[in-house]
Amino acid sequence: MTSKPSKTLETFPNPAPQRDFTIRMRMPEFTCLCPKTGQPDFGTLYLEYVADKSCVELKALKMYLWSFRNEGCFHEAVTNQILDELVKATKPRYMRLTAVFNVRGGIYTHVTAEHTKKGWKGTLPPSAWHVDPTGAGETP
C-alpha cells in the first residue's frame, strides 16, 4: 500500500495533561517550490511545543509536510501556515516552529513563528536547538 500526501493532521490524547512538558521534533526533509521560479526549496523544520489535551501524530505530520512538496510557497508564509494549522489541530499551551531553509541565491533564510495559548501561565521552554546561521548544521 502506497502512502500519499495529506492535509489532515491527526492527534492523540496527551498522556500527561496535568504537567507541562516540551515535545521537540526535527524534520529534515521539508520541501516546497519557490513561487517565483518553480525550483525546489529544501529545509529543516524544528517544532517545539507544550501540549494541552492533544499531541500531533507523527505519521500524519509526515504526510502533511509531504503535501507541500509541489506547492509554491514563500518561506515566511509556509512557516506561519504550518504553525497555524498545527495550532488549530492540537490547541497547544505553547508552540514554536522554526524553518531553516537551504541557501538560495547566496541567502540563508530562517523563519520562527510562535503561539502562546491565551491565559497560559507556564514557562516558555528555551529553544533546544542551536542552528548554525550558515545552515551547515545544528546541535540539540
At 92-135, the pLDDT tens digits run: 999 999 999 999 889 999 999 999 999 998 887 777 666 665 55
Q: What predicted TM-score, i.e. pTM, was given to this entire model?
A: 0.90
Catalytic residue (choose from 20, 32, 34, 84): 34
Is position 75 annotated in a ligand binding site?
A: yes
Predicted pLDDT of residue 7: 94
At 5-43, the pLDDT tens digits run: 899 999 999 999 999 999 999 999 999 999 999 999 999
Predicted pLDDT of residue 130: 65
- Residue 34 known to be catalytic: yes
- Residue 20 known to be catalytic: no
- In the three-class reduction of DSSP (H, G, I as helix; E, B as strand; rest coil), residue 32 is classed as strand
Q: Dihedral of the CA atoms 58, 43, 128, 126 (nearest 10)?
A: -100
Domains within the chain, CATH numbers bracketed: 11-116 (3.30.1130.10)
Which residue shows C-alpha cell 504537567?
19
